Chain A
């Protein structure tokens, strides 16, 4: 992905068409995060609301039916924290 941004104007592919689909996966947006959502599964009712609301689509269901974010892509927007019915997701600063 990175080399695409180093092309000279003469090397731009026609129409700036990109022939590697799914390449957005290479863009690890998790680096944007200043706070991370942390789940306390003891209060979780497995409703899936966090999963539905995550704009990044980075929350997945675990084998036990709980939910968890993929921190490679979680941008730390805090929407899951806000939407969780039972307030079982905490927002924790990245430094700690």
Chain B
């Protein structure tokens, strides 16, 4: 295993992308993502990384350039956040439909207005239905490891779809952690060279992104949906191989203390690190509670999630974004649709917290577990609780 070094997660991610021998990067700086592409541009202009770096004038152009470069057969990377992700939205939908395996890091940040550079999952929620594979990382090590994983899965000829790696802005992106870099031979063993299944080639001309008249558009959409669903097994294979090569185990749904617990919170991203302290605090009170963390958000790992909740009696669904005017917020909506009609029927409470950079304390999470205990004891618990909001 590579040596651990104290490094900011963003810099480590950029180093991981460079180790993957990326061919092309197009990006526009936006807080809190900036350090990733800044570091990549340094590596390119210092001659340490042989790649095309296209400094564009907007995120719309960044994703457009990535679309073209990937279509030309280049291993392509970009990164963004919040408003940047919104500005590139048009092309974000086009890239998966054209089956181009672009890798994008998204440092999750709240959406305007009011203007907020701080962290929540508003941007993550906004791209749910774009057709990208989406992985939500917890910490800097995971961010590093997910870079070679993302290129491998995206470029796999059975997948050939783009991947977003989400991670919490500032909380993870600007955190200095002890991160184990891979050895170059490990990257080489894990990540084969990119062999595009479709590409722009003047000797074998093709037309990409053509018109889909009513007689065929429907079929293309179902084909795209199935390709995304089918990618789950390729992700699992890659997780197995990653463990074999670098010794770290990743699962599509991560669990913590779930062998004993009948009470669990479902959440995504770095929040689970704080929640682990809450689990320990509950243990000291003599109550076993656990955490279920979908690492893969798209395709949603339904079977793995149901296996993780099979013994749960009280389930808390924790959202860090709003679905304005909806019955529930994004994560809760997804999980409830997965549970509907399944043999597992825990009692459910929904929570929203950590919005727009609002700090989440261990006590907040202990409080949510407390609500789940109350619910199991038959006490009335509000259907949705806005934890930490001023009344």
Q: Which residues on A are within 8 Å of B, measured CB to CB?
A: 4-5, 7-10, 12, 14-21, 23
Our pick among A5, A15, A23 for the contact of B216 (Cβ within 8 Å) is A5
**Residues of chain B with a CB closer than 8 A to A10's CB:** 223
Are B212 and A16 closer than 8 Å at their CB atoms? yes
**Residues of chain B with a CB closer than 8 A to A16's CB:** 97-98, 210, 212, 216, 220, 223
A1 to chain B, nearest CB (A): 11
B207 to chain A, nearest CB (A): 4
**Residues of chain A with a CB closer than 8 A to B226's CB:** 9
Are A15 and B207 closer than 8 Å at their CB atoms? no
Closest 7 CB pairs of A and B: A15-B99, A12-B223, A9-B219, A5-B215, A9-B222, A21-B205, A18-B207
A/B interface sample: 18 pairs, CB < 8 A = A5-B213, A5-B216, A9-B220, A9-B226, A10-B223, A12-B219, A12-B220, A14-B197, A14-B198, A15-B100, A15-B160, A16-B212, A17-B98, A17-B99, A17-B207, A18-B208, A21-B206, A23-B207
A18 to B208, alpha carbons, bound, how many Å?
7
Chain B 268-310 interface mask (CB, 8 Å, partner A; 1/0): 0000000000000000000000000000000000000000000
Contact size range, B = 20 to 34
A41 to B143, alpha carbons, bound, how many Å?
71
Our pick among B208, B213, B219, B222 for the contact of A17 (Cβ within 8 Å) is B208
Are A4 and B216 closer than 8 Å at their CB atoms? yes
**Residues of chain B with a CB closer than 8 A to A18's CB:** 206-208, 210
A29 to chain B, nearest CB (A): 13
For B98, B207, B215, the residue with the greatest tally of chain A CB atoms inside 10 Å of its CB is B207
**Residues of chain A with a CB closer than 8 A to B208's CB:** 15, 17-18
Are A15 and B219 closer than 8 Å at their CB atoms? no
Query: Can you name the residue of chain B whose Cβ is closest to the Cβ of A5?
Result: B215
Q: A4-B216, A7-B216 are in contact. Are A17 and B223 (CB under 8 A)?
A: no
Q: A10-B223, A12-B223 are in contact. Are A17 and B216 (CB under 8 A)?
A: no
A8 to B198, alpha carbons, bound, how many Å?
20
Chain B 78-102 interface mask (CB, 8 Å, partner A; 1/0): 0000000000000000000111100
**Residues of chain B with a CB closer than 8 A to A15's CB:** 97-100, 160, 198, 208
Our pick among A4, A7, A14 for the contact of B99 (Cβ within 8 Å) is A14
**Residues of chain A with a CB closer than 8 A to B218's CB:** 9
Q: Given contact pairs A16-B212, A18-B208, A21-B206, enumerate 8 new A-B contacts (beta carbons under 8 Å).
A: A4-B216, A5-B213, A9-B222, A12-B216, A15-B208, A18-B207, A19-B206, A23-B207
**Residues of chain B with a CB closer than 8 A to A9's CB:** 218-220, 222-223, 226
B154 to chain A, nearest CB (A): 13
**Residues of chain B with a CB closer than 8 A to A17's CB:** 98-99, 198, 206-208
A12 to B227, alpha carbons, bound, how many Å?
11
Query: Can you name the residue of chain A whose Cβ is closest to the Cβ of B213?
Result: A5
B233 to chain A, nearest CB (A): 18
B40 to chain A, nearest CB (A): 27
**Residues of chain A with a CB closer than 8 A to B98's CB:** 15-17
A52 to B127, alpha carbons, bound, how many Å?
43
B98 to chain A, nearest CB (A): 5
Our pick among B160, B204, B219 for the contact of A14 (Cβ within 8 Å) is B160
A5 to B213, alpha carbons, bound, how many Å?
8
A19 to B201, alpha carbons, bound, how many Å?
11
**Residues of chain B with a CB closer than 8 A to A14's CB:** 99, 160, 197-198
**Residues of chain B with a CB closer than 8 A to A5's CB:** 213, 215-216
A7 to B215, alpha carbons, bound, how many Å?
9
A18 to B220, alpha carbons, bound, how many Å?
13
Are A8 and B99 closer than 8 Å at their CB atoms? no
A90 to B31, alpha carbons, bound, how many Å?
61
B200 to chain A, nearest CB (A): 10
B218 to chain A, nearest CB (A): 8
Are A7 and B198 closer than 8 Å at their CB atoms? no
Which positions 186-220 of chain B face chain A at CB distance < 8 Å? 197-198, 204-208, 210, 212-213, 215-216, 218-220
A27 to B197, alpha carbons, bound, how many Å?
28
Are B219 and A8 closer than 8 Å at their CB atoms? yes
For A4, A7, A14, the residue with the greatest tally of chain B CB atoms inside 10 Å of its CB is A14
**Residues of chain A with a CB closer than 8 A to B205's CB:** 19, 21
A4 to B98, alpha carbons, bound, how many Å?
17
**Residues of chain A with a CB closer than 8 A to B99's CB:** 14-15, 17
